[in-house]
Amino acid sequence: MTMEVQYAIVGQGSAAGTTREQPDANCEDFLQVVPEKDRTKSLWGQFWVWFGANVAPINWLLGALGVQMGLGLWETFAVIVVGNLIGMSVFGLMVLLGQRTGLTGMLLGRRVFGRVGNYLPTFIQSIVVVGWCAVNTWVVLDLVTALLMKLGFVDSIEGHFALKAIIGGVVMLVQVIISLFGYKAISTFEKWTVPPTVLILLVMTIAAWGFMGVDWNYAGTFSGNISEHIAPISSVMTAIGIGWGFTWLTYACDYSRFVSRTVPKKKLFAASSLGQFIPVCWLGLLGATLATKSGSIDPGQLIVDNFGALAIPVLLLVIHGPIATNILNIYSFTVSVQCLDLKVNRKALNVFVGIVAWLGVCLFLGFSSIGTMLDGWLASVAGWTAVWGGIMLVHFFIIERKHSDFSSVLAPFGKSGTPLIRWQAMVAFFAGLAMCWAFSYGSLFQGTFAVMLGDVDLSWLGGMATSALVYFVLTKVTDTVTEQSPLLEQAM
């Protein structure tokens, strides 16, 4: 049997009689389809993985962002809920794609963008996950310092660069170690640590809403007219509404590929989407209510003002947050970089990203405005993933909706039958990015159309709609049809 044929038939194991909870390690160390026999029928792993990834302090900070921008409490919460209903629904579709194919999102991109053309989105994804890893760790350092101050170990939140760098290094080390062992370690960590963390969050919520003087009728400070009022709403929608679900599109397949094809799609969709929707909305509302009391988005200030008496349990929650999120970031980095045709061991990549992300944390410690930085970062990430997601959804849910075998993407370079570059996807990608910029209005970008609309940010909509439409039209006009894997046909 040739190597090419072996690539084609990897993962064609029987689905019968298996309830194995975790895959074998070699399914992750090398690029391949996860065999059916190594997939799980349990959905709790998916639920807790995504729930844990979003029980993070960054989500209550983003909730506070709406109040800081002048929106009312319930106005902020409505934007968060509506936005996440849309964003998580699109995310759920990408989850189903991972189950259907058994492949990561970046690997599937070879089918759409071409073998070499796929290097661009894969490289962007690799950079983004390093950035997320650094941002998520950096965000909690002020919180940890504030809690240590309440416990009497430090005298202030400001400064303490060396202490924060050391804490960030320890947190990063834990993240790297867990990710090193792959999906089994990640799902086990989430399964056993997220439920007790939820209990701590519940106590925090009761304390905040019952005893800390939250202004439930907070109407905001924005005094502009109705049209001007839409601008901050659109910014919050992009940051923690629709945009938040979109930021996970490129990750979805990396973990759902471990779910058996026998699991009903509706149940997988619900488990994954709710696993994100519940904590994002919960923490978003918590952050918004805290901000009505303190008027601040600064994490250290929120802790000092509101949770001094709960310092130790909150400290555990704060430290757990970036770990639960970043083990996904580190893992997705390793499986993404492998799609660049680099012959590098996944475990070596695992250690490398930890070091680079920690250096990023040290760099971010010099930033003074957390709110501005987070708003700009999230708008940028949500924009590119919306563009990528529009193309991927059109390809796999319209153009190739009846196909399930895409194992040709695993063949050696030049032997898969896939073109090096599929220009239709590349044109759609750049058109989407251009339109995303034109409709973007944030701390980093102010696009032409966004300014014309009164500073309204519709970057996610402009980018996704454009990339999806352009790709669909170009594919139909050029009569581009991707047939079933030629390698599989050879194997038969």
Question: At 64, phi and psi to the nearest 5?
Answer: -70, -25
pTM listed for this prediction: 0.84
Half-sphere exposure of 416 (CA within 13 A, CB side): 22
Measure the CA–CA gap between 99 and 261, rounded to whole angstroms. 6
Question: What is the predicted pLDDT for the residue at 486?
Answer: 39
- Cα separation, 73 vs 68, in Å, equals 10
Tally Cβ neighbours within 10 Å of residue 388.
30
- Confidence (pLDDT) at 2: 37
Q: In this structure, are residues 141 and 361 in contact, taking their beta carbons and an 8 Å threshold?
A: yes
Residue 272 DSSP symbol: H
The C-alpha atoms of residue 471 and residue 433 are separated, in whole angstroms, by 13
Q: Are 142 and 157 in contact (CB under 8 A)?
A: yes
Q: What is the pLDDT of residue 346?
A: 84
Separation CA 173–CA 38 (nearest Å): 29
State the pLDDT at residue 277: 94
Half-sphere CA count of 142, side-chain side, radius 13 A? 23
Residue 490's pLDDT is what?
33
Say how far residue 404 (Cα) sits from the centre of its chain.
25
Q: What angle do CA 215, 59, 189 make, to 5 degrees?
A: 130
Q: What is the pLDDT of residue 31?
A: 82
**Distance between CA 299 and CA 309 in Å, rounded?**
16
| Residues of the chain falling short of pLDDT 50 | 1-25, 299, 482-492
Rg (CA), the chain: 22
| pLDDT attached to residue 488 | 33
Compute the CA torsion angle 466, 470, 472, 477 (nearest 10 deg): 160
Token representation of residue 221 = 């400070």
Closest CA to 15 of 209, 259, 195: 259
- pLDDT of res. 303: 60
> Does 3-13+24-374+400-417+468-491 carry CATH code 1.10.4160.10?
yes
Structure confidence at residue 19 (pLDDT): 37
Residue 311 pLDDT: 66
